[in-house]
Amino acid sequence: GIEVVNYLHDHPSLTKLLTSTTPVIICSADPSETLRQTCIDHKYSFIRKPVKAPALKRKLKNILNPTAI
């Protein structure tokens, strides 16, 4: 989750591809408002577990083409 993304940001030698604009989807069963607020603050997308294929598809389409409705 967020810990992995933070770790990768803190250790850039692990990946040359992760930037501050790399889209991130946090997939979690954690219902806490704290997690959702952290996602909002960092501009991460959030999807609740269990993930349903149509919901994930919509999320990915939105990330890859945010101007499409």
Please report, in tens digits, the pLDDT of each residue of the chain (69 residues total).
888 888 888 887 877 777 777 889 999 999 899 999 999 998 899 999 999 999 999 999 998 887 765
- What are phi and psi for residue 65, nearest 5 degrees? -145, 75
- What are phi and psi for residue 29, nearest 5 degrees? -95, -5
Q: What is the pLDDT of residue 69?
A: 56
CA distances from 37 to 1, 12, 27, 45, 65 (A): 14, 25, 14, 11, 23
Q: What is the pLDDT of residue 68?
A: 66
Separation of alpha carbons 28 and 26, rounded Å: 6
Q: What is the pLDDT of residue 9?
A: 80
pTM: 0.74
Report yes or no: 29 and 67 within 8 Å, Cβ to Cβ.
no
